[in-house]
Every structure is written in C-alpha cells, then in structure tokens.
Amino acid sequence: MDHLAPSNVPVYATPDEQQAIWERCANRGHPVVAVRAATRGYIVRYDLQHLDEQLSAATLQRLRDRVRSRRPYPTGTDPISETEGVGGEAGPVSGELHTSSEGDGRDLASHISQFVLDRDNWR
C-alpha cells in the first residue's frame, strides 16, 4: 500500500471507533492515517507509535512543507514544531492536522498517507 484514496480514509467520532482503527492497523503492521470528527471541524491523524517507528527528519520536513503549501491562508510558523504553519502538530511519530470539513480531511489524509505509509520514509 503506497497511499490511501480519500474514500478509503477511515473517519471516526468515538473512542471505541478510534480504538478499532488503531487495533486494525496494529494487527496489520500499518501506521494509522485517519480523520477524527471533532466538535469544531475534523482532525487528520497519523500515528506510527504502535509500530515503534518514526518518520525521518527529511520526510517530516517534506510532509510539513507539502501540508503548509496546501493551506488556503497565510501561516506563521513556530521554527521547531511548525505548529501554526501546518494547522496542527506534525511530528515524527504522530500528527494532528486540522481541517474544516470531512472532505478536506479525507483529501489531506490521502495526501499525507504517501509520506506515512512508505516504509522507506521511516527511520
């Protein structure tokens, strides 16, 4: 699997649904890429912690640059975490990136899945 199509990105709203997604990915040896339906918008989440893996520094920077370039508004950037620039937190092990709609969340999750799912991008 090299990336997820937007229609294949799982969306969850409850802790039980989240747990089911994380367990399914852990059992298959895959990182998590999913969208959480939050109170105010949607949050794209990725997670490699259950695999004891992380994204390489170069991959993480490419992911952040790509996410920032897709944002429709000007962004400020914390030089270390780049939290504001990417609209959430994008770290080497996990990330949470905010979007305003489920469709935008699925599109963003699909886009970042190519970075997260490629084992050559892990260290």
The domains found in the chain, sorted by start residue, are: 6-121 (3.10.310)
pTM equals: 0.86
CB 75 within 8 A of CB 85: yes
Q: What token pair was written down for 56?
A: 């390489």
* Three-state secondary structure call for residue 80: coil
Instruction: Report how far apart, in Å, the C-alpha atoms of 65 and of each of 19, 30, 40, 68 are.
Output: 30, 24, 25, 5
For every one of its 123 residues, what pLDDT tens digit does the chain have, with 9 covering 90 and above?
A: 689 999 999 999 999 999 999 999 999 999 999 999 998 899 999 999 999 999 999 999 999 988 888 766 555 544 444 444 456 788 999 999 999 899 999 999 999 999 999 999 999
